[in-house]
Amino acid sequence: MPTIAVQPGVDIFYKDWGAGQPIVFSHGWPLSSDDWDAQLMFFANHGYRVIAHDRRGHGRSTQTWDGNEMDTYADDLRALVLALDLKDAIHVGHSTGGGEVARYLGRHGSDRAAAGVLLGAVPPIMLKTDANPEGLPMEVFDGIRDGTLNDRSNFFKVLPTGPFYGFNRPGAKVNQGLIDRWWLQGMMGGIKPHYDCVKAFSETDFTEDLKTIDVPVLLMHGDDDQIVPIADSALKAIKLLQKGTLKVYPGFDHGMAATHPDVINADLLAWLQGKDIGATA
């Protein structure tokens, strides 16, 4: 398997397919690069070089005890970019991966980046605080930690069955294959990194990162996202970006890149080509 060593004893697995301008995909918690299958195939077949990595502790990368936080995630991504000598890269991040992209661009700058895409992403900050009263209470994230720590296999069956893909909505057509794929990806990762990552995606404040990003950024978010509610994420993030574009998808769920890949892929391709996708800013 192709890997790079980001630290002694820490190897990051990655996929690198196709040729052309690079698109780098950062996945959500607790998944892996496999969650981007539909995007990797689509964009590689449309003349792009596609790269997707398993975040440390996830998928086929090293299950680390330490370093399971956003600064290190961003540094790992930087190491991958440098190892593969990527230039003018488009960074696409879903959910936690959107936080990784925001922190990467905020921490390492845009010398090798052309654009960013935050899809159902966690920035600016998910946790309810005095400065962010619209956020989710700590009890929500304590529940995720408890499920991960005490009954991870069963918990990882519940999330995709219900709110992650919107399968709990009346009339929803349940896709068992997506549920099984989610569980499999989750169980490939390590319990300690998964546990630590809950704090990383919920408590990290990306406000200053968003303000400093100087490349165009597309925000793609479903207005029925039950995992990362749009009112406290994309609708706030768009106000912080220098060159932001917001596209809201009525009725779409948190995992919309998997449940609606034809729509998401077509819109992302059109935006990359400079076409109007009916976005609002």
Q: What is the CATH number of the domain that holds 69?
A: 3.40.50.1820
Q: Choosing from 61, 95, 110, 233, which is the catalytic residue? A: 95
Active site residue 16: no
What rounded mean pLDDT belongs to the chain?
Answer: 97
DSSP code string of 218-230 = EEEEETT-SSS-G
Catalytic residue among 75, 225, 253, 267: 225
The angle at the Cα of 64, spanning 60 to 70, to the nearest 5 degrees, equals 95
Q: Which pLDDT score is estimated for 72?
A: 98
Residue 238 has pLDDT above 90, yes or no: yes
- Given a cut of 70, whether residue 281 has pLDDT beyond it is no
Is 111 considered catalytic here? no
Task: List the end-to-end C-alpha distance of the chain, in Å, as a whole number.
Answer: 41
Task: Indicate whether 110 belongs to any domain.
Answer: yes
- Residue whose pair of structure tokens reads 């990467």 in the numeric block: 104
Rounded CA Rg of the chain: 17
Would you call 225 a catalytic residue per the annotation? yes
Question: What's the whole-number mean pLDDT along residues 203-223?
Answer: 98
Which range of residues forms the domain containing residue 151?
A: 3-272
Does a structural domain hold residue 281? no
156 assigned to some structural domain? yes
Is residue 206 situated within a structural domain? yes
**pLDDT above 80 (res 202):** yes
Outline where the chain has alpha helix (H): 37-44, 70-83, 96-108, 138-161, 176-188, 191-203, 207-212, 234-237, 256-259, 261-272
Residue 44 lies in a domain: yes
pLDDT recorded at residue 98: 98
Task: Report pLDDT for 278.
Answer: 87
Mean pLDDT of 179-207: 98
Q: Which of 27, 53, 221, 254 is catalytic?
A: 254
pLDDT in tens, 49-89: 999 999 999 999 999 999 999 999 999 999 999 999 999 99
Output the pLDDT for position 1.
83
Total of domains in the chain: 1
Give domain status of residue 280, yes or no: no
Is residue 148 in a domain?
yes
